[in-house]
Amino acid sequence: MRGQPGTLPDPTRPATVAAMFGRIAPRYDLLNTLISFGLDAAWRRRAVAAAALPAGGRALDVGTGTGALARALVRAAPDAEVVGVDFTAPMLALARRRQPAGARLHFLLADAQALPFPAGSFDCVTSAFVIRNVADRLAALREQARVLRPGGRVVCLEATWPRAPLFRPLFRAYFRYWVPVLGGLLAGSAQAYTYLPESVAQFPSPEAFAALLREAGFTAVRYELLGLGTVALHVGVRP
C-alpha cells in the first residue's frame, strides 16, 4: 500500500515497510552516501572490524538490503562464507547483481523475526540501519542470539539522535527537512525519507538498546557513538 507523502508506514505491517524500501532500492546506496556525507563506508568497516569474523567462518547479515555490509565482510575475510537476508525482493535483486564473482556470498529472502537457519549456525551476525524497522525488536534480537555459536558476536549499526547541545538542533533541521527533500528529488519518495527521521526518533537510546540486547541474551554488551553522535555501533557476545 502506498502511503501519502508525510505518512509513516505502520511498523507492525511488514509488507508496507518492505514495499516502501522496494520503491527506493535503485537509489538507496546513493542516498545513504549523500545523507551521511560519505561516512557510511567507514561505519561499515568499523562494524566489520567489531564482528571479528574468523578465517573460514560464517557470517549472517540481517536486513542486508543491497548487500553493502555483506560485501564488506567478504572483502575482510575472503575465505569466509557470508549470508545476507532481507524481506525486500528488489533490494535482494540489486544485491545479487553486485555480488563479487567467486565470493562465498549468498542472499536469501527472509524475515528477521524468523531466521531460516539452525541454532548455532554463524560466528557473527551483523545489521546496519535495520533493527528500527522491525516490528518486534526483541524477537529479532533473540533470533540473532539463537543462530549464533557460543562466543559469537552480534554487531548492530543504527542511527541515533546526537546529544551535543549545539549540534543537535542543526542535525534535527537537516534530518527532518533537508533529507526528505533529497529523498524526493533523487529517490522519488519523500515519504521514505520522512519515515527515516521519525523512525530514528522512536528508536531506543543507545543505553536502552544495550539493555534490550542484554534482555535478548547477549553479554559483554558495549556501544560506541560514530558520526558526531548520529550513529551507534552496538556489540554483544552470545554466551
Q: Where are the domains of the chain?
A: 14-237
CA distance 145 to 48: 18
More confident residue, 235 or 21: 235
Q: What is the mean pLDDT of residues 169-197?
A: 90
Nearest to 161 by CA among 196, 191, 194: 196
The contacts of residue 207 (CB under 8 Å, 6+ apart) are none
Q: What is the pLDDT of residues 211-228, one digit of tens each?
A: 999 999 999 999 999 999
Pairing of strands 148-159, 231-237: antiparallel
Give the pLDDT of residue 189: 85
Report whether pLDDT(121) > 80: yes
Q: Selecting from 3.40.50.150, 3.40.50.300, 3.30.2130.30, 3.40.50.12780, what CATH number does the domain 14-237 have?
A: 3.40.50.150
The dihedral of CA 123, 78, 126, 66: what is its sign?
negative
pTM: 0.91
CA distance 4 to 36: 26
Q: Residue 151 has which C-alpha cell?
A: 562466543
CB atoms within 10 A of CB 67: 26
Q: What is the pLDDT of residues 40-93, one digit of tens each?
A: 999 999 999 999 999 999 999 999 999 999 999 999 999 999 999 999 999 999
Report whether pLDDT(10) > 90: no
Q: What is the mean pLDDT of residues 168-185?
A: 91
Tell me, rounded to whole angstroms, the distance of Cα 175 from its chain centroid: 18
Q: Are 69 and 47 in contact (CB under 8 A)?
A: yes
CA distance 239 to 226: 27
